[in-house]
Amino acid sequence: MTRCWIGAVAVMWMCLASVGLAVLWHYDNAPGEPAHAPGSWPSHSHLSRAADAPTLVMLAHPQCSCSRASLGELEELLARTNVHPKTYVVFLKPAAFGDGWEQTDLWRTAKRLRDVSVVRDDDGVEAQAFGAATSGQTLLYDQNGRLQFSGGITGSRAHQGDNAGRQSLLALLNGGRNARTGTNVYGCPLFASGS
Amino acid sequence: MPQAVPTRSRVTELFEQYQSDLHQRTDRLFAGLLGFQWIAGILFALWISPLAWSGTVSRTHVHVWAAVLLGGIINLFPAALGLLRPGRPSTRFAIGVAQMLMGALLIHLTGGRLETHFHVFGSLAFLAFYRDWRVLIPATIVVALDHMLRGLFWPQSVYGVFVASQWRWLEHAAWVVFEDVFLLMSCVRGLAEMRQTAERTAALEQEVRTRQQAENDERALASLTSAIGLALTRGTELSTMLQQCTEALVKHLDGGLARIWTLNDTERMLELQASAGTHTQLDGPQAKVPIGVLSVGMIALERTPQLSHAEQIDPHLDDALWARREGMVAFAGYPLLVDSKLVGVMTIFSRREFSLSVQDTMAAVADGVAVGIERKRAEAELKRRARDLEEAHEIQRTHAQQLSALVDQLRVTQRHAEAATRAKSDFLASMSHELRTPLNAIILYSELLQEEAADHGQPGSITDLEKIQSAGKHLLELINDILDLSKIEAGKMSLSIETFDIRAMLDELLDTAAPLVQKNNNRLNVHCEDTLGTMDSDLTKTRQILLNLLSNAGKFTRDGVIALDVRDTMIAGRPCVEFAVTDSGVGMTEAQTEKIFEPFTQADVTTTRKYGGTGLGLALVSRFCQLMGGSVAVQSAPGEGSRFVVRLPITGHDSAVDAGAPAKVA
């Protein structure tokens, strides 16, 4: 009797664990809201575009732990490109928070990246200019200001590793063909729903 | 002491106990580890991704909830099993699965960091603590399934690449199996070492048990020996002694039944004397067992111990069924022998096997009991003989009293006889004296009258006077003999020792004796050895002995030959002179020779009438010889003459010789 009871509990346990892992898996693989990036470099952006090189912009929420993987992938990407783009990492700074709120470890990590400009985006002006809604949204504009790529550079939420976004950007920057122009982006919403 | 051999069952029992202990310890270890993992997962989630943000709004990150809830689900159930049901296979299987699930969760929580995969390998190594390779199977299956599913649907999360072969999970699973192989070898080796430890421990336990058993046996045997010794030495009856022995055997050897039979040698039957244990009555069917019948009788017949051990109590044993029913596992029977002589049989049934030391002790006990039985029998025999001796002694005492009375009576009689003898001797002495005085006067006067008659020419009177003188001399001679004899018998005769020459003594003797010998027309032959010298003795009595013998020979021989042979000889190492007087006279019968040395006795009643004499001559010869330490013997046959041999010591005489003892007749 006890044996049957234990067996039943064990089966239930296995099911619960499997379901839990499946839910977690689903969460990790659930993409954020895609960006509605403008096809050309937004004129009202405060960021300056490079005229002789592509410009790469990553918009991130400074408190989003998932974006740590995006920064890691960005570092990987920059290390492997033949053409070095002008790169910005733009961290959201809502007006509701005081100064320094954005100075997180993500900020410091981004600051350590070579040839990367870390920019504070007060109240999400730049994010809205680039139509980004999810932290980790990465945009690539060519030297002519045309949008080449818009998407995430992680395979799932907070997971580093080989992914379609990074591969596409590498291909675009290195002159490759058959590159995708967009991928899912995984991260925290940059703006609260309804805002 | 022999090497202890552990039983296989004990080795298995210890081995399983070690395994169970190890499983339980490892279960408890994993219970702690699972709890730690859970807490660590939560802390890790709180540290890495405490909050999820949506613009300006934050909420607890899903990973935190996953660490709390999913981590709790994964860890707490097997941890509870480890605490509540340690040692069960299901517990460690659940723990194995949980470790792999926790690995999957951690991979999620760490954002797919490859380093987190080491949790899988570490967990497998930890699982090997169980020394149960079966635990690795479900864990490996979970890892393989996880990699397969992720590889199919999300390879980047597990392989770190965006595109991977659908079979790549096999490579990862193979690495896990690769580790499993080493862990399996480790488990197998660990189990082998555990079994060796179990074998060593079991051997040690067995040795300890054996030693303890030996010590217990020694104590029991010492007590048994002491009890048997007490029983054998106490001054009790045989049956009591044997009963105490059987009770000691039962008490100290865990015996079920101990019995002792003694041999009735007359009936060739063993008789039950003592029984202790399950049966104590002595009048059962085995109260009397003939030699050679039943196992007891066979032991007595063959005189060899019989031993049956363990479950194999001899089915032919008379009490085999009873023994098995009572749980007896060993039987021993010993013949009770004393110097190869059978005195009984001792048997014992026991509820445990007899060790060699117990067997040796029982053999010694059997020897002791045998000696005890023999001793008791000897004591009984001794008592019986003492009783007989006492009875004999009583009879002897009665006889002694009677003898004492008789001796007293004899003493009185002797005193009377001695008084009578003294009176007789005194009478004879005085009588002889009184008789010899007138006799000497008669002889002297008759001699004077003969001379006067011759002077007066009265020859007719001379003859009468000669008869008077002759009768007087004969009477005087008779009186002298009686006087001598009475002196001897009265113990008043003494020797007058002097040194004299034998030849001179013979020459002088022959002057006197020759007429006596030759008067019947006999011829006297004298032969003396040249070596004859002197002798220290009583000359008068020596001469009278020879004179009496020669006179007798002349008296009983007519127209014959009388010989006197004298020579030196040795009697019993003493130098003696042998005088042999041989005649060719009438001789004597054997009956006659037996009494001629007695006083007043002649060969027959007609002798005195026919040959004359007093019958005292040979009696005096015999008494004188004995008085002088010599002897006289006679050989004679009717019509063939007689031979008297006198042997006298050359020096002195043997005073120890009883003068009253009779002479020898050859």
Q: Do A161 and B160 touch (CB under 8 A)?
A: yes
Q: Across the interface, do A24 and B70 touch by the CB < 8 Å criterion?
A: yes
Instruction: Kindly list the residues from chain A whose CB atom is less than 8 angstroms away from the CB atom of residue B69.
Output: 20
Decide if B70 and A135 are in contact by the 8 Å CB cutoff: no
In one letter, which amino acid is B560? Answer: G
Question: CB distance A16–B73 less than 8 Å?
Answer: yes
Cβ contact A24–B108 (<8 Å): yes
Candidate from B77, B108, B156 with C-beta closest to A162: B156
- Nearest residue, CB atoms, A17 vs list B73, B90, B161: B73
Cβ–Cβ < 8 Å for B4, B210: yes
pLDDT top residue among A179 and A100: A100
Instruction: Decide if B234-354 and B494-649 have a common fold.
Output: no
Kindly determine whether residue B48 and residue A65, on different chains, have CB atoms separated by under 8 Å: yes
Q: To the nearest whole angstrom, how far is the Cα of A130 from the nearest Cα of chain B?
A: 16
Contact B73 A10 (CB under 8 A): no
Tell me what the mean pLDDT of segment A8-20 comes to. Answer: 90
Tokens of B173: 């699973």
- Which of these, B404, B393, B336, lies nearest to B367 by C-alpha position? B336
**What digits encode the pLDDT tens for the residues B416-433?**
877 876 777 677 767 777
pLDDT at A129: 94
Q: Please identify among residues 72-91 of chain A the ones whose CB lies closer than 8 Å to any CB of chain B.
A: none
Nearest chain A CA: its distance from B57 CA (Å): 6
**pLDDT number for residue B602:** 58
According to CATH, the topology of domain B234-354 is: Beta-Lactamase (3.30.450)
Report the range of poorest mean pLDDT among A35-49, B348-362, B570-584, B590-604: B590-604
Tokens of B278: 């399950």
Structure tokens at B436: 């010899």
What separation in angstroms does the CA of A40 have from each of A127, A137, A147, B622, B652?
15, 16, 6, 193, 188
Of B52, B74, B156, the CB nearest to A161: B156
Backbone angles phi, psi at B597, to 5 degrees: -90, 0
**Pick from B603, B616, B512: nearest CA to B556:** B603
Q: Is the pLDDT of residue B161 over 80?
A: no
State the nearest Cα–Cα gap between A167 and chain B, in angstroms: 9
* CB spacing of B157 vs A27 below 8 angstroms: no
Nearest residue of A to residue B105, measured between CA atoms:
A21
The closest alpha carbon to B593, from B530, B639, B638, belongs to B638
Instruction: Please determine, for residue A2, whether its predicted confidence score (pLDDT) is greater than 70.
Output: yes
Chain B residues with CB under 8 Å of A33 CB are none
**Do the bridges between strand A137-141 and strand A147-151 make them parallel or antiparallel, or are there none, so unpaired?**
antiparallel
Of residues A28, A69, A189, nearest to B108 (C-beta): A28
Average of pLDDT values for B267-282? 84
With CB atoms and an 8 Å threshold, state whether A27 touches B162.
Answer: no
Residue among A135, A156, A195 minimizing CB distance to B157? A156
- Percent of chain B, pLDDT > 90? 27
Strands B255-264 vs B269-277: parallel, antiparallel or unpaired: antiparallel
**Average pLDDT of chain B, as a whole number:** 84
Q: Which residue of B has its CA nearest to A92?
A: B55
At B313 the pLDDT is 56
Radius of gyration over alpha carbons of chain B, in Å? 66
CB contact (8 A) between residue B55 and residue A162 = no
Among chain B, residues having any CB pair with chain A shorter than 8 Å are 48-58, 61-63, 66, 69-70, 73-74, 77, 81, 85, 90, 94, 97-98, 101, 104-105, 108, 111-113, 154, 156-157, 159-163
Q: Is the pLDDT of residue B664 over 50?
A: no
Domain ranges of chain B: 8-204, 234-354, 494-649
Residue B548 pLDDT > 50? yes
Q: Indicate the pTM of the whole model.
A: 0.55
Residues from chain A contacting residue B163 (CB–CB below 8 Å): 162
- Residue B624 contacts by C-beta under 8 Å, 6 or more apart in sequence? B538, B541, B544, B545
Please list, in sequence order, all residues whose beta carbon lies within 8 angstroms of the beta carbon of residue A83, skipping any fewer than 6 positions away: A53, A54, A173, A174, A175
Closest CA to B655 of B619, B626, B618, B624: B626
Q: Does A31 touch chain B (CB under 8 A)?
A: no
Which of B54, B66, B159 lies nearest to residue A24, judging by beta carbons? Answer: B66
Q: Which CATH class is domain B494-649?
A: alpha beta
Report residue B615 as tokens.
Answer: 């019958």
Look at residue B578 in the predicted model and tell me its pLDDT.
Answer: 94
Enter the ipTM.
0.89
pLDDT digits (tens, 9 = 90+) for B176-225: 899 999 999 999 999 999 999 999 998 898 889 888 888 887 888 888 88
Residue B162's pLDDT is: 63
Kindly state the percentage of chain B with pLDDT values over 70.
Answer: 91
Q: Give the whole-number percent of chain A exceeding pLDDT 90.
A: 64
- By Cβ distance, the residue of B58, B73, B111 closest to A20 is B73
Give the model confidence (pLDDT) of B57-108 as tens digits: 889 998 999 999 999 999 999 999 999 999 999 899 999 999 999 988 888 8
Chain A residues with CB under 8 Å of B161 CB are 161-162
Whether A162 and chain B come into contact, CB under 8 Å, resolves to yes
Asked whether the beta carbons of B146 and B104 are under 8 A apart, the reply is yes
CB of A1 within 8 Å of a chain B CB? The answer is no
Chain A: residue whose CA lies nearest to B57: A192
Residues in A closer than 8 angstroms to B159, CB to CB, are 161
Cβ within 8 Å, pair B112-A13: no
**Which residue in the set B49, B156, B163 is minimally distant from A156, CB to CB?**
B156
Q: In this complex, do B111 and A188 lie within 8 Å of one another by their Cβ atoms? A: no
* Length reported for chain A: 195
- B66 neighbourhood in chain A, CB within 8 Å: 20, 23-24
A160 at interface of B, judged by CB pairs closer than 8 A? yes
B105: which chain A residues are within 8 Å (Cβ-Cβ)? 21, 24
Q: Which residue of B has its CA nearest to A29?
A: B154
Three-class SS state of B51: strand
User: Which has more confidence, A173 or B6?
Assistant: A173
User: How many angstroms away from the CA of A52 is the closest CA of chain B?
Assistant: 32
CB pair distance less than 8 Å for A66 and B49 = yes
Residues B55, A192: C-beta atoms closer than 8 Å: yes
The tens digit of pLDDT for each residue in B600-659 reads 665 565 665 566 666 778 888 988 888 888 899 999 999 889 999 999 998 865 443 344
Residue B666: the pLDDT is 42
pLDDT attached to residue B319? 66
Reported as a pLDDT band with limits 50, 70 and 90, residue B662 is very low
Residue type, B134: R
Average pLDDT over residues B474-501: 79
**pLDDT (tens digit, 9 = 90+) per residue, B17-65?**
999 999 999 999 999 999 999 999 999 899 888 898 988 888 999 899 9
A101 at interface of B, judged by CB pairs closer than 8 A: no
Closest residue in chain B to residue A27, using alpha carbons only? B62
What tokens were used for B357?
Answer: 């030391």
Instruction: Collect all residues with Cβ–Cβ distance below 8 Å to B517 and sequence separation of at least 6.
Output: B524, B550, B551, B553, B554, B562
Question: What gap in Å lies between CA B140 and CA B89, rounded to an integer?
Answer: 16
pLDDT at A50: 92
Question: Nearest CB to A191: which of B55, B62, B105?
Answer: B55
CB B623 within 8 A of CB B659: yes
pLDDT at residue B581 tops 50: yes
Cβ of B85 and A6 within 8 Å? yes
Of B57, B74, B85, the CB nearest to A192: B57
Between CA A186 and CA A134 the distance in angstroms is: 7
Identify the closest residue of chain A to B157 by CA–CA distance. A159
Distance (Å) from the C-alpha of residue B54 to the closest C-alpha of chain A? 5
Residues forming a β-bridge with A59: A90, A137
Q: Which residue out of B27, B44, B54, B59 would a mutagenesis test of the A interface target, given it has the greatest number of A Cβ atoms within 10 Å?
A: B54
Indicate the range of A124-138, B396-410, B459-473, B546-560 predicted with least confidence: B459-473
